[in-house]
Structure formats: C-alpha cells, structure tokens
Amino acid sequence: MTAVFLVASAFLASAVEFVEALTIVLASGITRGWRSSLAGLGAATVALAAIVAALGPALTYIPISALRLVVGGLLLAFGLQWLRKAILRAAGFKALHDEAAIFEREAGEARAAGRIERAGLDWYGFTLSFKGVLLEGLEVAFIVITFGGTQGNVGLAALGAGIALALVAAVGVLVRGPLTRVPENAMKFAVGAMLTTFGIFWAAEGAGANWPGDDASLPAVLAFVIVLSSAAVATLRRRRMAFA
C-alpha cells in the first residue's frame, strides 16, 4: 500500500513541477534557440540527479524515528502550503495557474533580453532554462529524497518522478507548446493531500505515537485530509458566492 502511495505521490508532484518547467524551457527554446535551452535543461537535470544521489543514501544513516520526525514535520509544513493554495484556487480566492500566460510573459522577457555568448551558448537562454528546471525540480528532489528515504526506497520514488518526466517530455514534444489542459490544480490538491497525510503519519510515529493498525491507518488519514479539504473548498465557495 505504501509503495503505491510512494510512487503515486512522487509521480503526481513531479508531473506538476515538470509541466511548469516545460513552459520555461519552451519559452527559452522558442525565443533564444534550442541549443542553449536544452543545454540548460541537461545541466539542471544532472544537478538534480546529483542532489538525489548524494542525499538519498545519506538519509539511511539517520535513525528511522528521528528521520520520520524531521521528515514528517517538513512534509507537513510543505504539504499544508500546497493544500492551502489548492483549496484557495478551487474556491476561487486565488487565480488558477495559467501556463499560457506564464509562457507569454517568459517569452516576452526572453525576446527583450540582450545577447551574451558564453561557452558558445546564448547565456540568457541557458540560465533561464537551467534556473527554471532546477528550481521546479528542487521540490521534486525534496519529495523523492524525503519520501524515498523514510520508506527506505529512494529508487521507487525516483521511478515515479522518472515516469512523470518521460511523460511530460513526450507530450511536450508532441504538443510543442505549454501544457494548458493539464488539470494542475486537481493534481496539486492530490499532492498536497498526500504530503499532508504522510507528514501527519510519520511525524506522529517519529514523536513516539502508535497508530491504530499501524500502516493500515494511512488510508484513513488520507480520507480525513481529503474530507477536511473538500469541506474547506465547499465552505469557501459558499462564502464567495454570498459576497459576490
């Protein structure tokens, strides 16, 4: 059960972040040239893989209860951020993420920027692509390391992220434009719920509490988080309608 959660969480979180990274890589590639953009993408991917490869095995040396306490706390803080934003977007209190608008803005800024060549590459295009992929990918690396490390299976979490990367890249090549039809907020909602669920579960275990039924209580915690979030969306929607 936890293996399914592990792969699904890593896949969904990675897919959302890679969709956002694809928008930046496309804006860079179309306006500044594909060579620099793809070089930036490649360099950022290598940097992210190095972070996961270095930190993932290092976590196995930390005692599991301490690891679960710290990772649970981090995931909870992190998951609540995702969940809060997804709830506010679903209820209409925050604008939905608009990949087409972001693409236009990034492409406009890239067109206006001057050209500086370094190492045979257009430096603006390279750094735009590199920074975009690295910053979006850091959240993926964080999730892969923490989820995988706590479950003792970084490889499985990396597999979920790898499948998402391959899927987003393949669709990006086919569509040749920002992926505007991806239900990003629904995916962010799901990721926020999963991060919060694992955060609650591991932080409580790390603090020494024993869940009734051990791992079997994980779906119940997830159901609790989903019901709580859905109720929050319904309440906020009603409130917004009342004020409209």
Partner 1 sequence: MRRLRAFGRFWWDFVVGDDWRAAAGVVIAIGSTAALVAAGVDAWWLLPAAVAFVLCLSLRREVRSSSG
- Residue numbers of the site for partner 1 (CB under 8 A)? 69, 72-74, 76-78, 80-81, 83-84, 87-88, 93-94, 138-139, 142, 196, 199-200, 203-204, 206-212, 217, 221, 224-225, 228-229, 232, 236, 239, 243
- The smaller minimum CB distance to partner 1, of residues 30 and 87, is found at 87
Kindly give, in sequence order, each residue whose CB lies less than 8 Å from that of residue 128, ignoring residues fewer than 6 positions away.
24, 27, 28, 32, 37, 40, 106, 110
- Classify residue 116 by its DSSP letter: -
Burial of 198 (0-12, 13-18, 19+ CB in 10 A): buried
- The smaller minimum CB distance to partner 1, of residues 117 and 214, is found at 214
**Helical pair 184-206 and 2-32, crossing angle rounded to 10 deg:** 140
Cross-strand pairs, 117: 122
User: At closest approach, how far in Å is the CB of 29 from partner 1?
Assistant: 26
User: At closest approach, how far in Å is the CB of 127 from partner 1?
Assistant: 16
Residue in the block written with tokens 């989903």? 226
- The smaller minimum CB distance to partner 1, of residues 70 and 171, is found at 70
- The smaller minimum CB distance to partner 1, of residues 130 and 142, is found at 142
Cross-strand pairs, 122: 117
User: At closest approach, how far in Å is the CB of 14 from partner 1?
Assistant: 16
User: At closest approach, how far in Å is the CB of 170 from partner 1?
Assistant: 29
- The smaller minimum CB distance to partner 1, of residues 172 and 206, is found at 206
